[in-house]
Chain A
């Protein structure tokens, strides 16, 4: 492989990272909001969120990218490829993050909420003082897993012309007729990125352990 091939792969890595970051920045907080709305059984909205999650779960990200990029312009939303890909990935990961947050919410013992009420906590105080501090620790592992999955579905965006790590590797292989080296290099890049993400998780877990005196696992 030539220097320009490695550069193309690195450029692809930048694109993959940027897409994943956008989707994470949207998906984790929005997923939490949706999960809270479902958990509190907000009328209509709760049902709508359940329907959204049910639609997103089986929809392949490739299909989602194609829909956002080619069909949304008909509805007046004409996005450039990167924005369309970021939106498609966000739609996907938000649904899964919503389910992760919701699972942790369901697992929360009801008596804690009752105790909060007995102490005269408002709904907001219960959320900020009792629910959220436990929620993020319980959800950290699954959320990080979802981030690593998200990183590995970014190649789906290549269908609308995004050159991510995998597409860059494919192009190099198609030129040299020797696909193994670029795909091995791509695997190394994914491994490095995911190792970084997992390191971040470890760091947060250590902080939590120092602060709260136990490991949330």
Chain B
């Protein structure tokens, strides 16, 4: 869920090309204030960050957007669009902010600037509740793993295999799935030994089936999800970071994380890209 498919990458590449041929027209903070309107894009099907419930946009990012509206001195126009058009819309300047929890990757950081993280997106492993052989990451050596084809879970295998090599083990058989529900089913019925997915997604899985699955630990490098603006739009980035810092200081970010993600991430770094 967190990292999207190849199609999005292709579209993003298209947009990079488009942005390269034409100076991005994203508005700076001064221009937004002068115009009185900021245009943001959110996703329409990205539980639990943004989704539509009874025709209304809800989720962590939408809750933060509501809060931003109250403090902003300008109008905020929200466009609810599917993932594939979202980042291209920001790089081409159609939208000023991708107000969605984008997983920060080095690749994406080349074309976008990211705010401070709004959630943790580190890849974790999950096992069956009755699993006795797997107690730590080192025990994953040689076990059958389920991941999503082309997703963040698949990308995390590179990190995991390095970790396993350090312990003298190696990656077992990898099974790729189009989506996670099938992988969870196969984990449940014993075809898989563990599944890798983002920490937020696994938290909600464990929350829904505490009797069936048990949360493991991180298998990938610490990764975060943050909002994105066009590369070089520093004034707007600073403004959004100021807002997010306030939500951390008054604890409202953590309250919203608890409500929508079922957990809180209180020790996230100040920068989503610069490590710790």
Q: Which residues of A contact B (CB under 8 A)?
A: 2, 4-5, 7-8, 62-63, 66, 69-71, 73-74, 81, 158-161, 163, 167, 170-171, 174-175
Contacts and interface: CB of A to CB of B under 8 A. Distances in A.
Given A160-B85, A167-B44, A70 B52 contact: no
Contact of B54 (A4, A73, A159): A4
Contacts of A81: 79
Nearest to B94: A70
By secondary structure, the A interface counts as helix
A71 B92 contact: yes
B52 A66 contact: no
User: Which 4 pairs across A and B sit closest by C-beta, in order of nearness?
Assistant: A74-B22, A161-B81, A174-B45, A171-B52
Interface string B72-101: 000000011110110011001110000000
24 contacts: A7-B55, A62-B84, A63-B14, A66-B84, A66-B85, A69-B94, A70-B85, A70-B88, A70-B92, A71-B92, A73-B25, A74-B18, A74-B22, A159-B81, A159-B82, A161-B82, A161-B85, A171-B44, A171-B51, A174-B44, A174-B47, A174-B52, A175-B52, A175-B54
B45 A171 contact: yes
Contact of A2 (B11, B54, B85): B54
A69 B85 contact: yes
Interface of B: 11, 14-15, 18, 21-22, 25, 41, 44-45, 47, 51-55, 79-82, 84-85, 88-89, 92-94
A45 to B, nearest CB: 28
A69 to B, nearest CB: 7
By secondary structure, the B interface counts as mixed
Contacts of A175: 51-54
Given A71-B92, A174-B52, A167 B15 contact: no
A47 B11 CA distance: 30
A160 B89 CA distance: 9
A4 B54 CA distance: 6
Contact of B84 (A5, A159, A174): A159
Contact of A170 (B41, B45, B93, B94): B45
B111 to A, nearest CB: 13
Contacts of A5: 54
Contacts of B92: 70-71, 73-74
A76 to B, nearest CB: 10
B45 A161 contact: no
B79 A70 contact: no
Residue among B22, B44, B80, B89 facing the most chain A CB atoms (10 A cut-off): B44
B217 to A, nearest CB: 27
A159 B21 CA distance: 22
Given A70-B92, A160-B85, A167-B44, A174 B51 contact: yes
A81 B244 CA distance: 30
B94 A4 contact: no
Given A66-B14, A71-B18, A74-B21, A167 B82 contact: yes
Contacts of B82: 158-159, 161, 167
A160 to B, nearest CB: 5
B85 A159 contact: yes
A210 B238 CA distance: 73
Given A159-B82, A174-B47, 20 more contacts: A5-B54, A70-B15, A70-B18, A70-B92, A71-B92, A73-B25, A73-B92, A74-B18, A74-B21, A74-B92, A81-B79, A159-B81, A159-B85, A161-B41, A161-B80, A161-B82, A167-B44, A167-B82, A175-B51, A175-B53
